[in-house]
Amino acid sequence: MASIKLKFRAHKDKGKDGALYFQVIHDRVVKQVKTDYRIYEHEWDKRNEEILRNAPFSEARNEALERIRNKVAWEQRKLKQAAEALACAGRPYTADDVIQSYKTVAAAPATVFEYMKRQSERLAKLGRVRTGETYRQALNSFTRFRNGIDLYFDMLDADVVEHYESYMRANCLCRNTTSFYMRILRCLYNRAAEEGLTLQNNPFKRVYTGVDKTAKRAITLKEIKRIKELDLADKPALDYARDVFLFSFYMRGMSFIDMAYLRKQDFSNGYITYIRKKTGQQLSIRWERPMQEIVAKYPENPTRYLLPIITRQDGTERQQYLNKILFVNRKLKQIAKLAKITTPLSMYVSRHSWASIAHSKNVPLSVISEGMGHDNEETTRIYLTSIQTNQIDEANNRILKEL
């Protein structure tokens, strides 16, 4: 079979960087494959024919050499795979055939960072903005782990994946968070394997990719009352955050993103009817007095949206939503202290609290599916389509009357 070696050619002028290249030998025919990578003569280990490791250079230079080392390792591996494939075919081949086969594969953009970035952008163009954002978050996390040093999918083996999990655990991320990033990375790896960018070696088999059940984050009806009765007249920012929290609770734990994009036209004949952003499911909620009191408290939104969350229609709507939820969640932490509530308060608590309180009021489990504590969205969809809307409205009415 063909021999593939990494070689270094020093520059004829002392002190200038030289070129790295591959030497391909088959049937005594010697060919060379140029690379774009250049190093200095003192950075080359002549005896072992490799780039020096842990040399007494600056940190920046050592990182640059590590990037070059990773890239040439990938290219050398691809050359060897090309030679192995031609040898297994059982037909005569030449050193030129090996080089041509290698160039065909090497032309594909197969670095992990670049691939993750491309997939994030692709999802955004398809309108799956949130999923695209999670891919970008996973890319940022993995980039930090790698100290900005990219790699190829062939180099993404079980050891790298296990070290990544250990890195995240060392940074105090919970198992669900590490699993979340691992599932995204696994999804991208599998897609890359399907596209022929790497062989499928199942590098994720020894890391956790499940979902742990989280502790319930609900508060009681008494605590909801304490939040409602706080005197925040001289604290408009906290007052706003409280109104948003309570409106979510009044609306059967409506998610913040659905509140942000709730349109004026969604209100008709005493009902709010909207499509959930997360599931595409249509829900209808009877309009109650506490809801109206919050809406009437603020000037009419100049946009098509009902609530004062997105207040400009200028292409920045999603950023406004993201900024507001961060703002509200920060203020809710202050509200929790004022109301003497130990549970970390967030918009999610509003949603879970409505479900838990409804359960305590003997609302059927089929209506609230164990306080919204199901394992997947499919369960939510099944139970919501199987009950009468007025059952939910009556449950909501009973809860609000006690406030």
Task: Give me the half-sphere count of Cα atoms (radius 13 Å) on the Cβ side of residue 341.
Answer: 25
β-strand partners of 24 = 4, 31
Query: How many Cβ atoms sit within 10 Å of the Cβ of residue 230?
Result: 15
Confidence class for position 385, pLDDT limits 50, 70, 90: very low
Q: Sheet holding 29-39: strands in order across?
A: 3-9, 18-26, 29-39
Distances (CA, A) of 18 to 9, 44, 193: 6, 10, 35
Confidence class for position 370, pLDDT limits 50, 70, 90: very low
In 171-255, which residue ranges form alpha helices assigned H by DSSP?
A: 175-194, 221-229, 236-250
Q: Which residue has the higher pLDDT, 318 or 182?
A: 182
The pTM (predicted TM-score) of the whole model is 0.58
User: Cα separation of 88 and 282, whole Å?
Assistant: 57
Decide if pLDDT at 365 tops 50. Answer: yes
Pseudo-torsion of CA 363, 366, 389, 298, nearest 10°?
60
Decide if pLDDT at 112 tops 50. Answer: yes
**Residue 256: is it exposed, middle or buried by C-beta count within 10 angstroms (0-12/13-18/19+)?**
buried
pLDDT value of position 390: 55
Domain 221-401 adopts which CATH fold? Answer: hpI Integrase; Chain A (1.10.443)
Q: What is the pLDDT of residues 34-91, one digit of tens each?
A: 998 999 999 999 989 999 887 777 888 888 888 888 888 878 888 988 898 899 888 9
Instruction: Report how far apart the first and last C-alpha atoms of the chain are (Å, whole number).
Output: 81
Decide if pLDDT at 377 tops 70. Answer: no
pLDDT value of position 389: 56
Plot region of 60 (φ>0 → left; ψ -120 to 50 → alpha; else → beta): alpha
Q: What is the pLDDT of residues 330-356, one digit of tens each?
A: 999 999 999 999 888 999 889 888 877
Please give the DSSP secondary-structure letter assigned to residue 153: G
**Mean pLDDT, to the nearest integer, of 101-105?**
79
User: Cα separation of 34 and 83, whole Å?
Assistant: 17
High-pLDDT (> 70) share of the chain, %? 89
